[in-house]
Amino acid sequence: MSSTALPAGADSLGELTLAQLLDALAARTSAPASGSAAGVVVALAAALCAMAARFSERSFEGADELAATADRLRFRALELADEDTRAYSALLAARRLPVQPVEADRGTREEAIAAATANAVAVPLEIAEIGGEVGRLATKVASEGNPNLLGDALTAVLIAEAAAAAAATMAEINLAESRGA
């Protein structure tokens, strides 16, 4: 089983077609997986939020700034989706390091697991934080924006909240699993 499923020549999830992204997530590989999926979903929510805000420039002051903020969050969430793939792969690699029979040598594996765990927890937590922020922005668009875009804004709220919860759960799982490694 391979550790990642990106197609040959692809350096990031953002370069993939939707079909390729879905294939990568469905593949029998360790990554990309749920943390990366949460990052992509947060990016989708931010895109919907930005679009709804752009159609709401006449409805409330600051809609254009809100759209720009949503764009920044979208780009960061997509970066984090890739970072999650790398972070989780590094955590799995650290867990596969051999257990050293000599007490003095055991620190190397434990230090590698601790460093990889810190990253495998920090990345999905940042995805969760961004998801929460996107949800707050989209809530503002839903309440003050163009009523014709209410469905888009509410969809952004719902999927941002779901992705944030999923990412926070993955951080908890990564931390708990590493305590038992």
* DSSP-derived secondary structure letter, 181: -
- Would you list the domain boundaries of the chain? 31-179
Query: Pick from 177, 169, 136: which is nearest to 35 by CA?
Result: 169
The tens-digit pLDDT sequence of the chain (181 residues) is 446 778 887 889 999 999 999 999 999 999 999 999 999 999 999 999 999 999 999 999 999 999 999 999 999 999 999 999 999 999 999 989 888 776 666 678 888 999 999 999 999 999 999 999 999 999 999 999 999 999 999 999 999 999 999 999 999 999 888 776 5
CA 157 to chain centre: 16
Structurally, what CATH architecture does the domain formed by 31-179 represent?
Answer: Up-down Bundle (1.20)
pTM beyond 0.95: the answer is no
Beta-carbon count within 10 A of 104 CB: 7
